[in-house]
């Protein structure tokens, strides 16, 4: 390779690639050769340093869940997408703790959920109708999509969607909840459509989604992310599953402290949605 | 699919943001923790890095580099800036653990694994003292002065090894053969 620069310039370019330059070093580099800073040589050295930096990276490193959620929520303004409704990221690290509800809390939860499932199954069997609309070809577009459009795109593009409808939980404010959930195992993507939940004060409490993969409603369901409900009426919220989710059997919304929790006490259940048998 | 993520982000596809975080979040998080050695600092830095990624996604050119390299370059620049600003550098407490086979990263990021191994092979092609200096500098994030303090080498010797090692590693990895500039 042709060497375009003298030794001192190369020294500074190597320093730039390895550790960055101080203001004084930058000035010196500019005085030696004003073209050097943005030269191909500089770029190649930085590229070599970047490749070397990939050595020995942590095995299976993943972003912490709360950080993932925060970056995802904050991305809206930068990616030019429409701000979705789960705009309140977790603002503090969450720590694992035992559910305060104890056995009785879990029993109450399970009883409510099983009743909900039974109700849904009954309704589904007696209605004997299908809600799956005929798929239409998705439009190929580079336009910014709203959560509603993203949901529609998912519905139109995915044949094997998991679907569930919201039913009331154990808090009085959930009496009027309606809407549904759609989830794609293959795309690991899904959306909640919710009407009738009270607007929450995000400084005091937030809604949190939980995903159950076990029909017996496992003790530790998967965290589906925290979200807020605004006064827009129907809201559509992307599901932010923190872990790979396959064949979910039920979804639940609880009311939690701002930022959410790792383990819910399940004292305040704002909604339950059991997957219809034909969809499992 | 993963190689289209940045283009999708540049086109304003918000669903690509989640894909990007799943594909490259671990890479950036790992780099940040290794270079900053402080989880609070690393969290702040990772957020800044991804803002940079969103802003620069449109500049990515797949003909010039992989997405992994592009994201890692943005990350390193931001991390170096942060280290320079805060003057918080790591201590050389794990020198004996250097020069080991790169750990396998997640299966989802094969590109990182491939490029890491390519770099590792290049590193092994260097003289031992060059390997040590580059490992401490790039992989562990030590300054030249800290390397000198940790190894007992004169500062000038550290700089010489770093420079010659980096130049040779560039040749061994064929970076110079690209003949193109990766603009970020």
d(CA A60, CA A55): 14
* Type and span of the H or E element at A167: strand A161-167
Q: Which residues of B touch A68 (CB under 8 A)?
A: 21, 25
The residues near B127 (Cβ < 8 Å, ≥ 6 apart) are B161, B165
Question: Which chain B residue has the Cα nearest residue A23?
Answer: B84
Question: Which of A12, A21, A57 to mutate to test binding with chain B, by most B CBs within 10 Å of its CB?
Answer: A57
pLDDT band at A130; cut points 50, 70, 90? very low
Tell me what ipTM this predicted complex has.
0.80
Place of tokens 């979705």: A84
Candidate ranges A135-144, B19-28, B94-103, B142-151; pick with highest mean pLDDT: B19-28
DSSP-based three-state secondary structure for B65: coil
Q: How far is CA A62 from CA A224, B26, B68, B94, B106, in A?
A: 17, 4, 15, 23, 9
Cβ-based neighbours of A127, under 8 Å, separated by 6 or more? none
Do residue A58 and residue B54 have CB atoms under 8 angstroms apart? no
Q: What gap in Å lies between CA A157 and CA A137, rounded to an integer?
A: 7
Whole-angstrom distance, CA of residue A111 vs CA of residue B152:
68
pLDDT (tens digit per residue) in A17-67: 888 888 888 888 888 887 777 778 888 888 899 988 888 776 677 899 899
The nearest CA of chain A is from the CA of B154 a distance in Å of 16
Maximal C-alpha separation, chain A: 84
Pairwise pLDDT comparison (A263 vs A235), residue with the higher score: A235
pLDDT in tens, A75-121: 877 776 433 323 333 333 333 333 333 333 444 455 555 554 554 44
Question: CA-to-CA distance for A209 and A222, rounded, in angstroms?
Answer: 8
Average pLDDT over residues B77-82: 87
Q: Are B68 and B115 in contact (CB under 8 A)?
A: yes
Q: How far apart are CA A153 and CA A236, in angstroms?
A: 13
Least confident of A31-45, A117-131, B44-58, B69-83: A117-131
Please give the DSSP secondary-structure letter assigned to residue A206.
Answer: E
């Amino acid at each position: 390779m042709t060497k375009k620069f003298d030794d001192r310039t190369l020294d500074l370019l190597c320093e730039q690639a390895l550790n960055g330059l101080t203001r004084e070093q930058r000035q010196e580099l500019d005085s030696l050769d004003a073209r050097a800073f943005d030269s191909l040589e500089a770029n190649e050295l930085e590229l070599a340093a970047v490749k070397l930096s990939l050595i020995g990276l942590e095995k299976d490193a993943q972003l912490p869940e709360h950080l993932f959620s925060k970056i995802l929520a904050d991305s809206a303004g930068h990616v030019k997408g429409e701000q979705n409704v789960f705009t309140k990221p977790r603002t503090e690290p969450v720590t694992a703790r035992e559910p305060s509800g104890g056995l009785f809390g879990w029993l109450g939860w399970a009883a409510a959920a099983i009743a909900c499932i039974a109700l849904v199954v009954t309704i589904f069997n007696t209605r004997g109708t299908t809600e799956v609309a005929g798929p239409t070809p998705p439009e190929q577009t580079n336009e910014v999509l709203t959560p509603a459009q993203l949901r529609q795109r998912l519905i139109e593009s995915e044949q094997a969607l998991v679907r569930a409808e919201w039913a009331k939980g154990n808090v009085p404010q959930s009496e009027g909840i309606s809407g549904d959930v759609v989830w794609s195992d293959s795309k690991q993507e899904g959306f909640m459509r919710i009407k009738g939940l009270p607007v929450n004060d995000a400084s005091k409490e937030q809604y949190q989604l939980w995903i159950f993969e076990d029909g017996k409603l496992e003790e530790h369901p998967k965290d589906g992310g925290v979200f807020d409900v605004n006064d827009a009426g129907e809201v559509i919220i992307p599901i932010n599953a923190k872990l790979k989710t396959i064949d979910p059997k039920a979804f639940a919304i609880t009311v939690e402290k701002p930022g959410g929790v790792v383990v819910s006490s399940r004292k305040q259940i704002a909604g339950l949605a059991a997957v219809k048998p034909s969809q499992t | 699919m993963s190689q289209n993520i940045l283009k999708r982000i540049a086109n304003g596809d918000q669903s690509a943001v989640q894909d990007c975080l799943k594909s490259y979040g671990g890479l950036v998080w790992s780099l940040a923790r290794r270079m900053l050695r402080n989880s609070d600092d690393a969290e702040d830095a990772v957020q800044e890095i991804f803002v940079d990624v969103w802003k620069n996604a449109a500049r990515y050119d797949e003909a010039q580099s992989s997405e992994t390299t592009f994201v890692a370059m943005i990350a390193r620049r931001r991390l170096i800036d942060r280290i320079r600003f805060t003057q918080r550098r790591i201590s050389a407490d794990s020198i004996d653990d250097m020069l080991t086979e790169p750990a396998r990263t997640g299966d989802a990021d094969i590109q990182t694994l491939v490029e890491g191994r390519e770099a590792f092979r290049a590193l092994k092609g260097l003289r031992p003292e060059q390997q040590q200096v580059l490992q401490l500098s790039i992989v562990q994030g030590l300054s030249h002065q800290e390397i000198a303090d940790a190894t007992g080498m004169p500062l000038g010797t550290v700089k010489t090894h770093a420079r010659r090692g980096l130049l040779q590693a560039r040749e061994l990895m064929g970076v110079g053969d690209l003949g193109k500039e990766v603009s970020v």
